[in-house]
Amino acid sequence: MVHFDLEKRFLHGGDYNPDQWLDYPEILNEDIEMMQEANVNTVTVGVFSWWALEPSEGEFTFEWLDRIFDDVHKFGGNVILATPSGGRPQWLSQKYPEVNRTNSLGQKHTQGFRHNHCYSSPIYREKVRIINQKLAERYGNHPALLMWHISNEYSGECYCDYCKENWQQWLKKKYGELEEVNKAWLMSFWGNKYTDWSQVLPPSPLGEHKVHGMDLDWKRFNTDMTINFYLNEIKPIRQITPDVPVTTNFMAEGHEQHDFIPLEGIDYGKFAKYVDIVSWDSYPDWNNNYESIAETAMKSAYVHDQYWSLKQKPFLVMESTPSEVNGHQFNKSKRPGMHMLSSMQQIAHGSDSTLYFQWRQSRGNSEKFHGAVVGHDNSRENRVFKEVSEYGSRLEKISEIKGATKDSKVAIIFDWDSNWALKRGGGFGRPTRQYPQTLQEHYSVFWENDIAVDIITSEQEFDQYDLLIAPMLYLMDEKTISKLSNYVSSGGTLLSSYFTGIVNETDLVNIGGWPSELQEIFGISLKELDTLYPDEFNSLKFQGKQYQIKDYSGIIDVTQAEVMGTYQAEFYKNTPAVVKNSFGSGQAYYLAARTNRDFLKDFYKPIIEKLYLANSLINEPKFEVSVQTRIKEGVSYYFLMNFSTDTQEVVLNKTVVDIESSEIIEGKILLNSYEVRVLKE
Ligand code: GLA
Ligand code: ZN
């Protein structure tokens, strides 16, 4: 077995489904040959292979997989072995229908598609444990085994009786007494107070679905259930292969709205504590028709940085596509050169891999047109195959960077609870809450300036950051409030905004309005929050310039803070819209209104200067060119990436070496369309 930490290469390869090709031995032979030609060193196998590993209950057929392990090992490759719980065999559902999920209307699923099992079912858990144990026993000592890939893209919820029972147990553990549930969820509203635990059902459109605290707890419960199921999966794996790291692939979402943000359904901040390495599946809409390439790159960078920050350690891109995707409304091919650029961006932001879904394109069903290294033409001459192979050979040349870390002085807080609560709550503008999207707007200023940013949860440490950005932190517990207070009073710079600190952990509005600790940090009190329709605007005057305000204007009173900007219209004309407060030895800024990016850029400029956050490598950062830094053993590695089709000139402040060509570079450097240069100091 190779030890992951000793693996000196970036991982390059991806999901391999030989189980779809068992009737075509010539294809399987060719795969192994072609992998070497494509400079692939890692394959993920077994993701949906349960049917082929255990064709009937208790009958195991590993021979086909033995062969894959051996063949991959022969050419020096690694195997990431998946546990197959993402898709179960027919016999399992037929004999034990309880393993199928029940929806919120109480309808039981039948066998089909994938990712739809019950997390509570004792039989499913036991069957998963058995197959995982068999896999660990069989391959635990195989020299090609690099890592475990647990299940696939965990998601979804189940409402069966087992899950109901677990839900009630979870609540008992959290609240102790039923009366505490009634209080935490304010069940006196509409008079649905519980008098017996058995009345506390999961939320359902046919029953209770209007209690916000309940919804929030249901989301938390589902995160815990998913983690609990995962912990059951890894039990035999930890016993048999304690040194082999485990991961599970996280996701991003939002394509239909042209967004690209981490998946909202599971609290990955919590989940990340239980995996050895964070990994995720990255499918941005490259070369789309609704935004610039650099804009797509910024969004993709944001998600990478968020997954980096969960452990502040290198992560893996477990899936990405070498060409087009299949599941969006429009699935465009990446333009020539985009594969190189978009994949290098993964490495630049802290990934130690570029893995694909998938190695070989499937012939049928849902994903038959999803891009793959080997297309339906089975050709080594096509553009995609060649670009993948070229990328693999470049990765080999920069392998000294593998394992390198990052150093950020700026952090943005993203809080899953706040996001769930903001999405659920009534009032204000329902479609304009846009919490992660708003964080991305703040992020974009730093991305444009090539300043590294971590995106952390409120549970993580704040002290290592010079600037902490926490807009719209809607739900706050006392711990977070006191962490923020300590952070600022001991010298930190904090920014927050409208929609911050409004509710407690169960989504109940704070009695008496805004918590007094927050009033002290920001030196203000809150009066009202005005909602604007999408075609309504206000404006704000800041340092002599006017900026548009959209969606939200918070009306505030200044108690201590210094006014930096004021509203220009409405009944709150001339009242403060942006303020700054000295608190202890730090500074706290409050943006009462939502602005566009132009304001954020001008607003952050002096803060960036004052805190010496500017990128030290380049002189005049621009949006189209991204510079990201990874650090290893005191050496800084710079990725210069041109996210535009124009040639871009960059002026360097330092003398650097191109690690691929050994060329020494000083001063000006020209980047061609989509070009990436990897330099070191
Ligand atoms: C996800 C899944 C894969 C595949 C790809 C492509 O990331 O994990 O199995 O479905 O999407 O759509
Ligand atoms: Zn269930």
pLDDT given at position 2: 64
Q: What is the pLDDT of residues 225-250, one digit of tens each?
A: 999 999 999 999 999 999 999 999 99
Residue whose CB lies within 8 A of the most ligand 1 atoms, among 319, 329, 367, 373, for a mutation test: 319
Residue closest via CA to ligand 1's atom 5 equals: 357
Average pLDDT over residues 164-188: 98
Q: How far is the CA of 101 from the centre of ligand 2 (A)?
A: 6
The answer for residues whose C-beta is within 8 angstroms of residue 199's C-beta and 6 or more apart is none
What number does CATH give the domain 410-610?
3.40.50.880
Structure tokens at 147: 């890592």
Q: At what angle do helices 416-424 and 435-448 cross, to 10 degrees?
A: 130
pLDDT given at position 6: 73
CATH architecture designation of domain 618-680: Sandwich (2.60)
Buried b (16+ CB within 10 A) or exposed e, 269-285: bbbbeebebbbbbbbbb
Q: How far is the CA of 95 from the centre of ligand 2 (A)?
A: 16
High-pLDDT (> 70) share of the chain, %: 100
Residue closest via CA to ligand 1's atom 4 equals: 357
Residue closest via CA to ligand 1's atom 7 equals: 281
Average pLDDT over residues 91-103: 97
Which of the residues are catalytic? 153, 319
Q: How far from each other are the two terminal CA atoms of the chain, in whole angstroms?
A: 35
Least distant ligand from the CA of 157: 2
Closest atom of ligand 1 to CA, residue 47: 9
Residue closest via CA to ligand 1's atom 10 equals: 367
61, pLDDT greater than 90:
yes
**Identity of residue 24:** Y
CA separation for the pair 372, 34 (Å, rounded): 13
Closest atom of ligand 1 to CA, residue 48: 9
Q: Is the Cβ–Cβ distance between 549 and 538 less than 8 Å?
A: yes
Least distant ligand from the CA of 47: 1
425, pLDDT greater than 80:
no
Q: How many CB atoms lie within 10 A of CB 5?
A: 9
Q: How far is the CA of 281 from the centre of ligand 1 (A)?
A: 8
Structure tokens at 663: 């060329």
Closest atom of ligand 1 to CA, residue 283: 7
Q: Which residues surround ligand 2, an ion (CB under 5 A)?
A: 118, 120, 158, 160, 162-163
Least distant ligand from the CA of 14: 1
Q: What is the pLDDT of residues 499-523, one digit of tens each?
A: 999 999 999 999 998 999 999 999 9
Q: Which residue has the tokens 């304001």?
A: 599
Q: Is the Cβ–Cβ distance between 680 and 635 less than 8 Å?
A: yes
Residues with CB under 6 A from ligand 1: 152-153, 281, 319, 326-327, 357, 367, 370
SS3 216: helix
Q: Which residue has the tokens 């941005």?
A: 284
Average pLDDT over residues 201-209: 97
Q: What are phi and psi of 371, to 5 degrees?
A: -60, 155
Q: What angle do CA 38, 41, 45 make, to 5 degrees?
A: 105
4, pLDDT greater than 80:
no
pLDDT given at position 610: 98
Q: What angle do CA 181, 182, 184 make, to 5 degrees?
A: 60
Q: What is the pLDDT of residues 626-672, one digit of tens each?
A: 999 999 999 999 999 999 999 999 999 999 999 999 999 999 999 99
Q: Which of these, 409, 370, 355, 397, lies nearest to 616 by C-alpha position? A: 409
pLDDT given at position 1: 59
Q: What is the pLDDT of residues 466-477, one digit of tens each?
A: 999 999 999 999
Q: How far is the CA of 357 from the centre of ligand 1 (A)?
A: 6
Q: Is the Cβ–Cβ distance between 118 and 99 less than 8 Å?
A: yes
Q: Is the Cβ–Cβ distance between 492 and 437 less than 8 Å?
A: no
Strand partners, 591: 497, 578
Q: How far is the CA of 262 from the centre of ligand 2 (A)?
A: 25
Average pLDDT, the chain: 97
Between strands 668-671 and 648-651, the pairing is: antiparallel
pLDDT given at position 7: 87
pTM score over 0.95: yes
Q: How far is the CA of 641 from the centre of ligand 2 (A)?
A: 47
Average pLDDT over residues 125-142: 98
CA separation for the pair 461, 490 (Å, rounded): 14
Least distant ligand from the CA of 317: 1
Q: Which of these, 31, 2, 33, 35, lies nearest to 19 by C-alpha position? A: 31
Q: What are phi and psi of 180, to 5 degrees?
A: -70, -35
Residue extents of the structural domains in the chain: 410-610, 618-680
Residue whose CB lies within 8 A of the most ligand 1 atoms, among 17, 85, 281, 324, for a mutation test: 281
Q: Is the Cβ–Cβ distance between 62 and 47 less than 8 Å?
A: no
Q: How many CB atoms lie within 10 A of CB 667?
A: 10
pLDDT given at position 424: 87
Strand partners, 651: 668
User: What CA–CA distances, in Å, run from 415 to 455, 482, 526, 554?
Assistant: 10, 16, 22, 21
Q: How confident is the model at residue 80 (pLDDT cuts 50, 70, 90)?
A: very high
Closest atom of ligand 1 to CA, residue 251: 7
**Identity of residue 102:** T
Q: What is the pLDDT of residues 360-409, one digit of tens each?
A: 999 999 999 999 999 999 999 999 999 999 999 999 999 999 999 999 99
